[in-house]
Amino acid sequence: MLKFMRKYATGYMVKAIFGLIIIVFIFWGVGSFREGDKAVARIGSHEISVMEYQEEYNRLLNTARMLYRDQLDENLLRELKLKEKAMDALIDRYILLKKAKEVGMIISDKEFTEYLHGIDMFKRDGQFNKRMYEEVLKRNRMDPKRFEQTEKAALLTARMIGVIRDTGALVSDRDVWAFYARERGKVSLGYAVYDPALYRGNASVDEQEVLNAYEKEKGAHKSENFYRLKYITIDAKSPVKDDVAYVELLKLKDLDAYGKEKHLPVVDLGPAAESEVLKKFKGLKVEEWLKGLRKGEISLPVRSDSKSFIFQLVDAVEGKPVDKTLVVKEIRERMIAEKARGAARKACEEAIEKKSTDSKNDTGFIPRNSAGIPKLGPIPKEDTGILALSRDNRVYGKPVGMGGKFYLFYYKDESLPAKEQWEKEREAYKRYVLAREKDNFLKSFMETLRSKEKIKIDWKEI
């Protein structure tokens, strides 16, 4: 399993898996506030300590390292948002324990004893062994009383989550069929197009407004920067690791000499426009580190798949200011385009308000889970609701921007899934819907509980 996840660690699948793992931490490793330790967050009168937060963050970080291994760099860490996830887990954990106390939910001594006796690491010859239990805790520097409090809280939180999820499991057969029809069926949409190009004739701009914009922006209107970069490539067969090479290069500051010493080929790109560099090293996020380099400086190792690149900036020539006449023309064109775009959008909004459905354009039947519309293009993520339009909800409530144009979409017809296929998939799909609705209910319930709490987070203390 780990091998599979590591192989695809850059894809959305593992990121989704990692997101699901977070829920485990809501009821794993419940800690208590330590006397004398600074508080980093408060939920009502309850305080979360620096040490408690750090333990939670380290758990998430270790899980990320296990999944991503060498691919876990600063950029991926920022994308995973571990700091925020650790704080959310601690807050949710406290809220769940508070709710469990309110409803009188407990873990009895008998239940806890059965749980403890079921843990393999505390067994000898298949039976719970108290001496083994004490030895394991001592070896891990864990106080038995604190360990038992922590585990009881974890069990209580897990039970509370189960109760909440099951409460939201009221899904009828009719609901399941409706979900299935929405996801597996097809819909035909009518649409009207509002092209900004048709509104340019009525769009005019004030020349003084254009000149004022030029004065504010003139510093940003320059020709491309030119860079001369050299770099070495390090992989598993190289005689040195990238972090070691980076430290040694910081001292030597001579990529050619270092490459010769380590038998690593040095590539000299020669003078190249910034756009050329970005295109050549697409995927290395050059725009994030290139402009921060000074002449002669060495870049941090830039990792991609199984390779690392270390760059040295040999020279940089800053772009020169563009002629004022050209810049003013560009600004004028941009302003006209913005006004034409605004007019097209407004016309579309007015048509939506009138619920205009007399256009002759239609999409033909397309799957309700389609990512795009033939001849129109990809559907924006925020507007996938157009595929859920129905007889009861005919007109989409806002303009949809696609390919620089605005569209009004409305329901025309639908094609339901074949009954034969439904009969084959009914039970499996029902289980899927039930699990999904439980998770959605849990998420919604937690958001409601959070909204009732006074939460204050002091990120400066972290």
**296-345 per-position pLDDT tens digit:** 999 999 988 889 999 999 999 999 988 999 999 999 999 999 999 999 99
**197-210 per-position pLDDT tens digit:** 999 998 889 999 99
Same fold, 2-168+448-461 and 222-317: no
Task: Please tell me the pTM assigned to this model.
Answer: 0.55
What gap in Å lies between CA 405 and CA 395, rounded to an integer? 18
Residue 25: count of CB within 10 angstroms of its CB: 21
CA atoms within 13 A on the CB side of 408: 23
128, β-bridge pairs:
123
- Give the least confident one: 23-27, 277-281, 446-450: 23-27
**3-26 per-position pLDDT tens digit:** 433 333 344 444 444 444 444 444
What gap in Å lies between CA 455 and CA 75, rounded to an integer? 28
Q: What is the predicted pLDDT for the residue at 37?
A: 65
Contact 68, 9 (CB under 8 A): yes
Q: Which tokens go with 214?
A: 């030029």
Residue range 222-317, CATH number:
3.10.50.40
Domains of the chain by residue range: 2-168+448-461, 186-203+325-415, 222-317
Element of type H or E holding 186? strand 186-194
User: Residue 197, SS3?
Assistant: helix
Closest by alpha carbon to 53, among 81, 76, 86? Answer: 86
Burial class from Cβ neighbours inside 10 Å (0-12, 13-18, 19+) for residue 386 reads buried
Burial class from Cβ neighbours inside 10 Å (0-12, 13-18, 19+) for residue 409 reads buried
Burial class from Cβ neighbours inside 10 Å (0-12, 13-18, 19+) for residue 208 reads exposed
Contact 195, 231 (CB under 8 A): no
309, β-bridge pairs:
233, 302
What gap in Å lies between CA 217 and CA 232, rounded to an integer? 38
Give, as one character, the DSSP assignment of residue 366.
Answer: E
Element of type H or E holding 7? helix 2-7
What gap in Å lies between CA 250 and CA 247, rounded to an integer? 5
**374-408 per-position pLDDT tens digit:** 999 999 999 999 999 999 999 999 999 999 999 99
Helix 82-102 × helix 50-68 angle, to 10°: 120
Range 2-168+448-461 classified under CATH 1.10.4030.10: yes
Task: Choose between 254 and 218: higher pLDDT.
Answer: 254
Cite the DSSP H helix spans in 31-108: 50-68, 74-80, 82-102
**121-162 per-position pLDDT tens digit:** 999 999 999 999 999 989 888 888 988 988 998 899 999 999
What gap in Å lies between CA 99 and CA 452, rounded to an integer? 12
